Structure 1
Amino acid sequence: MKKVISEDIVAGGYGQTFKVKANQTLTIIDLEGEQVVDFTAFCQPDDKEFLSMSRSRAALMRKVFTTGDTLYTNLSKPMLVIEEDTFGIHDSTYSSCDSADYLRYGGITNHRNCKQNFIDNLAPYGIEEWRLPDPWNIFQNTPDMSSIISGAQADELKHSKAGDSITLRFLRDSLVAISACPFTLKGFNGGKATPVKVVIQEEAE
């Protein structure tokens, strides 16, 4: 049986950080459906080691990870295991949305974005913008980003539903940062940014 350490709601379009100890689990729940969550994590106390999508893809020899998979750091060491996953499709290839994306795809300025969420939330820990790795895009199904931007496949893709969740068991003490993605152009995120729930648990003694 697990006991709950913390429960938090991250508002749609915003980000938050969490400290997770080895052997604890972190669960992300999509409360309303179709909400992508950009995710990154840094080992503690040495944050020069961090979750790496490229190393995880190389180790698993694929670009989509799901239940039972172990994800790796930039030093090719195991960092976390996907314990449960109700959706099963999480992109590992695209960067966080930033101000340039809004300008490029919609001519929009001063829009919230995942990159800025990471910058703001990780700054108190001394992690600067240039150190941000490419994220793991939880609940993001993007086989062809160009099609999503054009809207050509927006209605054909499988999307996460309200209540879909992913549970990660950490093998290392970690600092986790997430962003409930604000990108809403061309129907992405169902056309609106919505909140997600984050629950940290550990085995009860």
Structure 2
Amino acid sequence: MALFNRVESTRKPADAVVDQTILAGDGWMYDLEPGQVLRIVDLEGNQAADTLFFDADHPEDHYSAVATIAGQGNIYLSTGSVLRSESGKPLATIVADTCGRHDTLGGSCSAQSNTVRYAHDKQHMHNCRDTFMLQLAERGQGYSKRDLAPNVNFFMNVPVTPEGGLQFADGVSSPGAYVELQAAGRTTVLISNCPQLNNPCNAYNPTPIRLLIWDS
């Protein structure tokens, strides 16, 4: 199930219409217009960018890990992967990727998962689910926790064991690695830049990401 389809982009940061840095633990929510391209940059390497996608006009039709995995026949994402919604509709396509593999199975950290995976005294720690909920609350428009589907973990390394279990392993990303996605239609992007301090996905050191957007 390995997938290392590294393709560099010709897009220049100076031409981007949006250029924003998101600190570890912070969130971001944005509506991409059809054809726009979003680049997510792992500035210092091994950072996990937990990301969800929604049809902006029909938010209930959100990203589906099952439809995406079935459509491409692979549990990992890289250049050429089409991210699909619950209805099977394409939301975005990865058009460039210098990391080579991204996780679709590990999900987002939460207060509850922190206690199960690590220890009960970790429950208070900042987590991606809380960041997602904060962004949805600020957006309004009827979004709720029902809209939090299993997400993509860009740059995160979650190998699957022969027995079918998941391992949260050292990252495979490097400083400056990026992934670019082109919106198929009006697509809402929701990101939690993971603050996780308890597993090696980010070398126990959460760091910022950079987001750039180009018009079609």
- Measure the CA separation in 2 of the matches of 1:161 and 1:95: 21
Corresponding residue for 2:189?
176
Among 137, 146, 155, the alignment partner of 1:130 is: 146
Structure 1 CA distance for aligned equivalents of residues 92 and 22 of structure 2: 22
Residue number in structure 2 paired with 1:75: 87
Whole-angstrom CA distance in 2 between matches of 1:72 and 1:81: 9
Indicate the residue corresponding to 1:39 in structure 2: 51
Unaligned 5+ residue runs, structure 1? Answer: 149-153
CA distance in 2, matches of 1:158, 1:186: 10
Taking the aligned partners of 1:46 and 1:56, their CA distance within structure 2 comes to 18
Instruction: Report 1:26-65 matches (<5 A).
Output: 26-65=38-77
Question: Is the counterpart of residue 8 in structure 1 residue 24 in structure 2?
Answer: no
- Going from structure 1 to structure 2, the CA distance change for 1:43 and 1:147 (only over 3 Å counts) comes to closer
Structure 1's 73 and 146: CA in aligned 2 closer, same or farther, altered over 3 A? closer
Task: State the secondary structure of the residue aligned to 1:18.
Answer: strand
SS at the partner of 1:200? strand
Q: Name the aligned partner's letter for residue 129 of structure 2.
A: K
Counterparts of 2:148 and 2:166, CA distance in 1 = 24
Q: TM-score, normalised by structure 1?
A: 0.89
Q: Per-residue deviation at 1:53? A: 1.1
Q: Whole-Å Cα distance in 1 between the matches of residues 82 and 200 of structure 2?
A: 32
Three-state SS of the structure 2 residue aligned to 1:143 is coil
Residue by residue, what CA displacement relative to the aligned partner does 1:64-123 show, whole Å, maximum 9, x if unpaired? 121122221110111111100001111101221000122221331321101111111012
Give me the whole-angstrom Cα distance separating, in 2, the residues matched to 1:118 and 1:93. 17
1:132-161 per-position Cα deviation (integer Å, ceiling 9, x unaligned)? 11101100111147643xxxxx4xx55211
Q: RMSD of the alignment, in Å?
A: 1.7
In the aligned structure 2, how far is the partner of 1:95 from the partner of 1:111?
A: 17
What's the TM-score once normalised by structure 2's chain length?
Answer: 0.85
How many residues are treated as equivalent by the alignment?
A: 196
Distance 2:107 2:167 in 1: 16
Identity of aligned residues (%): 27
Structure 1 residue ranges (4+ consecutive) displaced by more than 4 angstroms after TM superposition: 144-147
CA distance in 2, matches of 1:197, 1:114: 17
Partner of 2:34: 22
Give runs of aligned pairs for residues 82-93 of structure 1, distance below 5 A.
Answer: 82-93=94-105
